[in-house]
Each structure stands twice: as C-alpha cells, then as structure tokens.
Amino acid sequence: MQTPLRNIRPSHLDESEENYFISLSDLMVGLLFIFLILFTFFALRMSVFQVQNSNLKGINENLSAQQIALQEELAKLDKTRQENLVAQQQIQLSQQQLAIIQDKLAASQESIRQLRTAQDILTNSDRIRAELLRKIQSEAAKKNIVVQIDEERGVIHLPNELLFDVGLAGLKPKGEDVIRQVTTIIKGILQNSPVTPRLDSIYIEGHTDNQPIHTPEFPDNWSLSTTRALNTYKTMISTEPDLGKLLNSRDQSLLGISGYGEFRPIGDNTTDDGRRLNRRIDIRFVLAAPKFFALPPLSVPASSSSPSGSGGTASPTLPPQSSTESGSPATTAALPAPASTTGTP
C-alpha cells in the first residue's frame, strides 16, 4: 500500500521543528530560572527591608524615649539651676548676716576686753589704794595718832573728839596738830604712790550725829559739818600748800570738801558710842574711771532745802562726779535738810 504524498514530510523538516521546540523549552526554563532567582532575590531583599524597617522603628522609639528622657533631664536641670540660684541668694544673705554677726561678735569681744581691762585696772587700783590707806595708818600710828580706815571705800576716819569741841567748827589745838601731821604723812606718801595718777579727787568730808543744832552760827548740822570740813581743808593747805596744787588726769583740782550732816552715819545714832563714831572728819580717796569709759555725768535734782555751804566762805572747786570708788561719791546736793532745834552734835 502506498503512502499518500501529502502525509509524507521531509525528514529535514522534522529535525528543524524538534530543534526549535527544544530551544524554546530551554529558553522557557532559563526564563523561569531567572524569574525564580529574581523572586528569591526580591523576597530576600524584602525580608531584609522588613528587618531593617523593624530595627529603624526600634531605633526611632529608643530615640523618642531618649528625647523624652533628655527633656525631663533638662527640666530637672533647669529646676536645679533655679534652686541653685535661690540657694546662692540664701548663701549670700547668710554670708551678709554672718558678717554682721561677726562684726557684732568682734564689738562684743572688744567690749569684753575693755571690761576686763577696766576690771583689772580697778582691781589693781583698789589694791594700791588699800595699800596707801594702810601706809597712812601705819605712819600715823608711829606718831601716836589713831585713825580708822575703810579699805573698800578708800576712806580715812578721823574721830571728832581729837579735832573739835561740841557744837563748834574751829579745830582744837590738839586737833590742828593732828591734822597737820596727818597732812604731812599724806603728802609724803602721795608723792611716791602709784595710785596718785589714778585719783580723781580727795574729799575732806564733815559728818555729825543726828542730834539737831540751831545756833546763830550754825542753823543746822549741814552748815556745821561743811564748816568743819572747810576748816580742816584750810589747815591742810596751810600745812602743805602743794596739796592744793594737785590735779587729776583732767587738770582739775584733786582736793575738795563736802558736808553731809547726819545723813551718812557709820554707827548707831541711838547709842552714845554710835553717835561718837558718826561725829567725824573723813578723807576719801576717789579713783578715776578708766579713760575708755564715757560715763554719763551724775544728775542731781535741785532742792530748795538743800544747803550750798555755810558762812559765805568759798571752798575749792569740786571735780564733777564722774569718778568711781567702792562707795558713794561725795555730794551734798539731794539730801533733805534736818529739823532746826537746839542740840549737841
């Protein structure tokens, strides 16, 4: 049987077609392989991108948290800075207050130092003055003159019986001799005593008992005591004129007089012995205050009944009452006047 011609293909055409299909298949496989490679590549890139994106988000979150933390720290720092400014102002104020306190403390320490210096000066002066009184008493005893001393107040007591008759202001001959000898002793000791430059005044003081007196010459005990002090002063100056030239540190007269009547007793005026002690002449040594103390002057109110002296005789100028001693400074200004009746002081 013969094969139709139309169904017969040349053999070289079959090989060409087969080669063509083989080449197309290879191309498709290659394309598929390339597509798979590209897909894998992009899939890997996408995975990496997602990881990186996730990391970036984490980083952004961390950065945001850090930014918030930094803002909080800045706020804290600003608050701390404000607190530091307030603290610095308080420190400056405290330093100013401390400086004021230190100035006050320094002033207080200086005041304490001055007070201690004054105390030392006064204590030392009191000791030297007591030695002066003891020496006067000792020298008087060598001349058989008995005097009493008050070391605390710086006073020498001269008994009235040695000096004056009852109701009179003139010194008895024996009393005048006693005053002259005591004056010579005082003058000699003052010339070489370290207490002399520290004296503010030496008062000759007249005292009586409380027995009233009323005579034409002496209307009261004030006038009697003042006249006795004045006569004692005159006798002392006539014996040792240089005593009247003694000056204190303010170039004022060192010697002065005062009369107290019966108003400064040292004994009991209800007994004879007490009244005898109260009738006396005192010589009071008054110490000057330390120079760095500005003591106010003693203000004494005036009194119409206060005596200013007796007999119209001028007495030496008394130093102002800025001196200091262990007792009362001499003054005759503010004491009440006694009743005027006849008696025997």
- What mean pLDDT comes out for the span 249-276? 93
Q: Are strands 199-207 and 255-259 parallel, antiparallel or unpaired?
A: parallel
Q: Does position 54 have pLDDT exceeding 60, yes or no?
A: yes
Short-list 291, 318, 328, CA closest to 198: 291
Q: Does position 266 have pLDDT exceeding 70, yes or no?
A: yes
Q: Does position 251 have pLDDT exceeding 70, yes or no?
A: yes
- What mean pLDDT comes out for the span 62-78? 88
Confidence band, pLDDT 50/70/90 cuts, at residue 128:
confident
Length of the chain: 345
Residue 7: what pLDDT?
Answer: 53
Report the distance separating Cα 224 and Cα 215, nearest Å.
10
- What mean pLDDT comes out for the span 203-210? 96
- What mean pLDDT comes out for the span 224-248? 94
242 token code pair = 């240089």
- What mean pLDDT comes out for the span 320-340? 36
Mean pLDDT rounded to a whole number for the chain:
79
- What mean pLDDT comes out for the span 310-324? 37
Q: Is the pTM of this model over 0.75?
A: no
Q: Does position 302 have pLDDT exceeding 80, yes or no?
A: no
**Of the ranges 64-68, 112-116, 227-231, 252-256, which one carries the lowest mean pLDDT score?**
112-116
Residue 304: what pLDDT?
Answer: 39
Tell me which of 2.60.40.10, 3.30.1330.60, 2.50.20.10, 3.40.47.10 is the CATH number of domain 119-287. Answer: 3.30.1330.60
- What mean pLDDT comes out for the span 10-26? 65
Specify the DSSP element, H or E, that contains 139: helix 11-142
Helix, strand counts (H, E) of the chain: 5, 5
Q: Does position 61 have pLDDT exceeding 70, yes or no?
A: yes
